[in-house]
Amino acid sequence: MNTEVVFIIIVVFLVADFIVERILEWVNMRAMAPVLPENLKGIYDEKEYARFQNYKRETNRFDLISSTFSFIVMMVFLCTGGFGWWNAWVVTWTDQAVLQTLLFMLGLSLVSGLLGLPFDWYATFHIEEKYGFNKTTMKTYGLDLLKGMLVSGVIGGLLLSAVVWFYEWAGSFFWLYAWGIVSVFSVFMAMFYSQLIVPLFNKQTPLEAGALRDKINAFAEKVSFKLDNIFVIDGSKRSTKANAYFTGFGPRKRIVLYDTLIKDLTEEEIVAVLAHEVGHNKKRHTVQFMLASVIQTGVILWLFSLFVNQPALSMALGGDRACFQLGLIAFTILYSPLSMILGLVMNAWSRKNEYQADAFAARYYDGESLISGLKKISVKSLSNLTPHPLYEWVYYSHPSLLKRIRAIGQVEAVDAE
């Protein structure tokens, strides 16, 4: 492999990725109708639609500024040999591969976080606050930032240390051991994330006895779904946006409702939204996605093992020889086109699963309640209900609302026959 060729490919991939993202954002904004479309009447009113447009325009302009800044910093750092310079400094401190990699990645993470902090702060305390979404205090924001850094640093550091250790110990077969430990960790986190990580940021309390819990339990019994854990999370301490999710496997599965969801939706709508989440479980979507993720991780690590020892990758970033940390950065960039293709496949699969979960909720509970609940959630968060088809195909893991409404109506029409 030729170092100059690798460098050119890396630059081309970064530039192409930036341009494609900007084009997709542009066509999506162009697709936004200036007046309330006929098919949105009854969902948005004129005032809310104007508010949605203003919100999307402002967030799009801000995303353009922040992404352009990140792109320029990345290109300057790459073209001036910044990666090589930082690596050369790191290796003077220790000759241990694990410590070198940890120091190298820690430095990049800190710089990236510091550069991105002003943009994140502005988005939270200006844009989100301006449109009534933000409920985060400065204290909560600061604590979230510190906790997030500690959690990601500890977990990411341990996993990265294990991968580098296997790289040093097992040679070209390190990817098999790394695949094993990453897969075990992924399954563990899927089962215990809500119990171990979420409490660091939010309070989760069991849903109190009452009409809502009775309706949820009645539905769960109707579809033979064992559900003992229903929790309410204090999402309102950060945002007015509503959500609900299903997590865990087997006896560890639980349904989590945002307190904003309980506030904004009727009991029938809440149960319908939960029926959708139960549908994912009954259709084995969670397990299937987990298996697909494990397989994808194995493929990535295998490909990485083929390239990490190629000197051209490290030297293209300014190194003087092959080293793990520079090879990791170069591979991450070179892998991006394949990552995008896999992302398209996974998003298409996810959208199909969302239709299936909607159909389950419509068939076994109530489609109209699901539709009205989805409408409220979408309007409350100022969601784009008419995205450009290309933008939706690339980025959306869920179908747009109007498509979901049509699909739910078709299910109800078939069942009515």
Q: At 407, list the tokens.
A: 């699909």
Nearest to 105 by CA among 168, 148, 174, 156: 156
Q: Is 276 annotated as belonging to a binding site?
A: yes
CA 394, chain centre distance (Å): 14
Q: Which of 269, 277, 366, 392 is catalytic?
A: 277
Residue 58 known to be catalytic = no
Within 10 Å of residue 379's Cβ, how many Cβ atoms?
Answer: 20
Backbone angles phi, psi at 227, to 5 degrees: -140, 110
Q: Which residues pair with 245 in a beta bridge?
A: 256
DSSP summary character for residue 396: -
Q: Which residues pair with 206 in a beta bridge?
A: 231
Q: Is 46 annotated as belonging to a binding site?
A: no
DSSP summary character for residue 362: I
| 53-55-56-62 Cα dihedral, nearest 10 degrees | 140
CA 87, chain centre distance (Å): 30
DSSP summary character for residue 208: P
Q: Is 126 annotated as belonging to a binding site?
A: no
- Write out the DSSP string of 100-137: HHHHHHHHHHHHHHHHHHHHHHHIIIIIIHHTT-B---
Within 10 Å of residue 116's Cβ, how many Cβ atoms?
Answer: 14
Q: At 274, list the tokens.
A: 């939960």
Within 10 Å of residue 404's Cβ, how many Cβ atoms?
Answer: 21
Q: At 394, list the tokens.
A: 């690339």
Q: Annotate 242-255 with b (16+ C-beta within 10 A) or e (fewer).
A: bebebbbeeeebbb
Q: Which of 358, 368, 412, 417 is catalytic?
A: 358
Integer CA distances (angstroms), 367 to 273, 276, 372, in order: 10, 10, 9
Backbone angles phi, psi at 282, to 5 degrees: -65, -30
Pick out the residues of the known binding site: 276, 280, 354
Pick out the residues of the known binding site for Zn(2+): 276, 280, 354
Catalytic annotation, residues: 277, 358
